[in-house]
Amino acid sequence: MNDWLSRRCRALDLGQAVDKVEAGERLSLEDGERLFACPDVTAVGALAHQARTRLHGDRVHYVLNRHINYTNVCVNGCLFCAYSRKAGQKGAFELSIEDMRAKALLPGGRVPAEIHVVGGCHPDLPLSFFEDALRSLSEVAPGSELKCFTAVEIAHFAKLEGIDTREVLSRLKDAGLAMLPGGGAEIFDPEIRAGICPEKLGADDWLRIHGEAHELGLKTNCTMLYGHKETTAHRLDHLDRLRRQQDATGGFLCFIPLSFQARNNPLGVKHGPTGVEDLRTLAVSRLLLDNIPHVKAYWVMLGVKLAQTALYFGADDLDGTVVEEKIGHMAGAESEDALSVDELEAMIRGAGFTPARRGALFTSREDENAE
Ligand code: V47
Ligand code: SF4
């Protein structure tokens, strides 16, 4: 770390954090509190950049992927959600396996490296439907890594089938599941959770299901929805629980801070976090989550330009081409629907980094022609 940055951080009461980042040691939650309270967000960002550069050099990852949302019918009425509908309600939809197959490829017929499949907790789609869907997607998009179903959906399938979540995971793995996406974590604190998603499974179950997936050899991602009713203490508690789970089972690949989009939902929060709050949350996350390899600046929620800036605040991944996104856009996200490989690479190079194309599991896909 250069002397100027070190002196600046010490003057801002971040001396302990500086020493730990330099020594590669774990930051405490008290360090996290100081980082959230620091008046100079650029100093927090510079520290996170140091941690991120140590892990990834000047590489920024992205993936040729596409999202498929199989239904928005959901039995949980999360108050922050603009996406879900009740069965029979106007705007409710359900895709058939044929519809999903038709969406599996990228425009131009290219096989995506990752297919990201999530949906609402539908009241009666059986587990066999999802097993068939995975097998069918593997057939139409061979070699694509299937990142499907949040822990919330896994718990829902288990309840509908009357079996345990480990068995659900194991059956889906046999059908071709490569990993779980990180959704549904929201904020773990029980009081905040009760206020924003009272019907959703609790923190302990969310963490347990990810632990089970890790034990079965499945990798997973993790998220935090911030900028609604929570305080920075709740964010730190959330990061701490993720860090402890990772110490125990070690299968998280990537952390995605999800910036709350405030439109079209009944939560009653007028606006989401400011751009500076987005950058700070990302930087503190990079610094505290020393055992999770990747941190994503999800351009869908942040917007393309802030996501590019976030590469200097601890992020090493931009997600990908996406193609069709509903959850953030229905809640007011103003970002593009999709980005091309050229656009992603231009964003990365334009910020002074080197693009690194990857699969869902973060193995390199550099050898594949991107055209
Ligand atoms: O679980 C819902 C969140 C999640 C809103 O694992 C909202 O690679 C902001 O988890 N404002 C789904 N967020 C998205 C998600 C995700 C996205 C991209 C990559 C990965 C990954 C995971 O979106 C939901 C919920 O936490 N969400 N409503 C909203 N109004
Ligand atoms: Fe359903 Fe997920 Fe929306 Fe909650 S966030 S209402 S679980 S679709």
Three-class secondary structure assignment of 133-194: HHHHHHHHCCCCEEEECCHHHHHHHHHHHCCCHHHHHHHHHHCCEEEECCCCCCCCCHHHHH
Taking the CA of residue 150 as reference, the ligand 2 atom at the shortest distance is 2
3-state secondary structure of 211: helix
By the 8 A CB rule, do 216 and 250 touch?
no
CA 269 to each of CA 184, 312, 329: distance values in angstroms, whole numbers, following the listed order: 19, 29, 17
Contact 264, 82 (CB under 8 A): yes
CB-ligand 2 contact for 223 (6 Å cutoff)? no
Ligand nearest to the CA of 121: 2
- Tracing tokens 């990810």 back to the chain, one arrives at 210
Q: What percent of the chain has pLDDT over 70?
A: 99
The DSSP annotation for 275-291 comes to HHHHHHHHHHHHHH-TT
Q: What structural domains and CATH numbers belong to the chain?
A: 3-51 (no CATH), 60-358 (3.20.20.70)
186 lines ligand 1 (CB under 6 A): yes
Is the pLDDT at 9 greater than 80? The verdict is yes
Q: Measuring from atom 7 of ligand 2, which residue has the nearest CA?
A: 76
Interval 188-199 mean pLDDT: 98
CA of 17 to the centre of ligand 2 (A): 37
Ligand 2 atom 2: the closest Cα is on which residue? 120
- The 10s digit of each residue's pLDDT in 232-249 is 999 999 999 999 999 999
150 lines ligand 1 (CB under 6 A): yes
Confirm or reject: Cβ of 225 under 6 Å from ligand 1: yes
Residue 155 CA to residue 161 CA, distance in Å, equals 10
What are the backbone angles phi and psi of residue 77, rounded to the nearest 5°? -105, 70
pLDDT tens per residue, range 36-53 = 999 999 999 999 999 999
Reported confidence tier of residue 140, pLDDT bands at 50, 70, 90: very high
Instruction: With cut-offs at 50, 70 and 90, classify the pLDDT of residue 369.
Output: low
Is the CB of residue 158 below 6 angstroms from any atom belonging to ligand 2? no
pTM of the entire predicted model: 0.98
Average pLDDT of the segment spanning 151-172: 98
